[in-house]
Amino acid sequence: MGGLLWLALVTAAMAAVSPVAHAQTYPNRPIRMLVPFTSGGGTDILAVIERLNGEIVKALEEPAVLQRLEDYEIFGATPEVFGIFIKAKIDKTAKVIRASGATID
């Protein structure tokens, strides 16, 4: 028991005479992270696809979008009907784009 008391007294004395330690903000310099994958590789593409999927899901949950999608009864149709629908949409959109004068930069 005496040894424990002596250890406690020595520890308290060292703490009393030691300079106060100041905590540094971490990190105190930029951190360089090395990733073992190339940019634009499969991991980047998957991250982009995941983000796009999340945004599409959020958009599809909005009531206004759901109401507009109810007007289209093609989801259970045949591939041929869907192709006709897409071609009509492309033609309609192309006319609007041409009329606006928009170009691809």
Which tokens is 42 given?
């499969």
pLDDT of the residue at 98:
86
pLDDT of the residue at 1:
53
Q: Where are the domains of the chain?
A: 35-71, 74-105
Distances (CA, A) of 65 to 15, 73, 74, 82: 66, 14, 16, 19
pTM for the model:
0.34
pLDDT of the residue at 15:
67
Q: Match 């928009």 to its residue by tokens.
A: 102
pLDDT of the residue at 52:
92
Side chain identity, residue 49:
I
Mean per-residue pLDDT pooled into runs of 10, the chain (105 residues): 72 66 69 76 81 90 83 68 85 88 78
